[in-house]
Amino acid sequence: MSEEVSKRAEEEAEIPDLEGQSDDSSDEGEASGDTEMDFLRSLFSRTLGLSPGEKVLDELTLDGVARYILSDKCKNIICMVGAGISTSAGIPDFRSPGTGLYANLQKYNLPYPEAIFQIDYFKKHPEPFFALARELYPGQFKPTVCHYFMKMLKDKGLLSRCYSQNIDTLERVAGLEGEDLIEAHGTFHTSHCVSFLCRKEYSMDWMKDQIFSEDIPKCDSCGSLVKPDIVFFGENLPARFFTSMKMDFPRCDLLIILGTSLQVQPFASLVSRVSNSCPRLLINMEKTGQSEFGMGLFAFGGGMDFDSDKAYRDVAHLSSCDDGCMALAELLGWKAELEEMVKREHALIDSKDDKKKDKEANQSSRRTGAEPVKADKTE
């Protein structure tokens, strides 16, 4: 890098200094500044390999993204999702002021809100986590429009993978399977003994029984705590996150980022893993993931750039995730299909819940000797 900088400096030294001839011309001064900035951008981008990629979208709007999806150029879509995709299901996100999970943990008497997901704190004080788990346990909520939009992308052969920060398993309930998903922050699907000498595995049903019996789950082999396989602060992400990331992102044609503040690493850094030409769509209540000042100034780097005059691939659609996905589905001509999918799948979930209530009621009746009853299905 130093040789190129020196060479360019020598070339610039041979160019006559014209600034003294235009002191009273502000327009020429601004033009000179623009030229110098362009030179710096060019120099840094060539030297560091950070030059902008090809502009793929015909316009930086949701319409432009929809036209690209419908073209034959968009074949591999990756979705990056956070807690914002599940708020309409009744599950709070983490950081929203007043309504977020971290703002409503006072009853657990934590030293600080994030402690409830700190592995060292959990090993000493597991009670707050399991009390919260009873409130938010998977199986009590229905997938949202956003979850079913991703299922539709899968059905149409467009979804390469969904990278999720969520532990609510709603992606699975909506129809995404193990190969479709990277659960970056783990899952309730399995649990393990926390002892390195044991590590016995337990099923989701076993953990659910423990949590709702209000017992602290303990290993029946060694007596240590048993923890769902969700990633706490202080733990490593699943190995599959890193191996899949290296394979998936270089071949991504469109990155859709949904309902995440992009504040937690290393997940947030995934936005920079796609190629420089890959369009990136953010559907969120506010803009996030934008470039740091220094990198944004020179119009390169992995951060999102929605507003500068150098923006060429990033689109921000500010709305709820459900509204944004429905708006995109409408532009794609998929709205009626998506609405029907949500209605059908929610009805199936309700039907399963009714059958479960009937079964539980009849089991209770047999124990007490009462007449069998059916769960009330009235609206």
Does pLDDT of 316 surpass 90? yes
Of 307, 236, 248, the C-alpha closest to 278 is 248
Helices within 25-162 (DSSP H only): 26-48, 62-70, 119-124, 127-136, 145-155
Residue 285 and residue 114: Cα distance in Å, rounded?
23
Q: What is the mean pLDDT of residues 204-223?
A: 91
pLDDT band at residue 153, thresholds of 50, 70 and 90? Answer: very high
**pLDDT, tens digit, for every residue of 100-141?**
565 556 677 788 878 888 999 999 999 888 888 887 776 678
The continuous run of DSSP H or E covering 91 comes out as none
Does pLDDT of 182 surpass 80? yes
Does pLDDT of 193 surpass 90? yes
pTM over 0.85: no
For the CA atoms of the chain, what is the radius of gyration?
26
pLDDT band at residue 363, thresholds of 50, 70 and 90? Answer: low
pLDDT band at residue 365, thresholds of 50, 70 and 90? Answer: low
What pLDDT sits at residue 132? Answer: 82
**Residue 192 annotated as catalytic:** no
pLDDT band at residue 264, thresholds of 50, 70 and 90? Answer: confident
Does pLDDT of 93 surpass 80? no
What pLDDT sits at residue 159? Answer: 98
pLDDT band at residue 325, thresholds of 50, 70 and 90? Answer: very high
The better pLDDT of the pair 311, 37 is held by 311
What pLDDT sits at residue 126? Answer: 92
Instruction: Tell me how far CA of residue 133 lies from CA of 88, 111, 168, 332, 335, in angstroms.
Output: 19, 19, 10, 38, 35
From 125, 147, 185, 317, the catalytic residue: 185
CB 283 within 8 A of CB 258: yes
Q: Averaging pLDDT over each range in 142-156, 222-236, 283-297, 359-373, which range is the top one?
A: 142-156
What pLDDT sits at residue 140? Answer: 73
Average per-residue pLDDT in the chain? 81
- Grouping H, G, I as helix, E, B as strand and the rest as coil, residue 214 is coil
What pLDDT sits at residue 103? Answer: 57
Residue 352 and residue 282: Cα distance in Å, rounded?
34
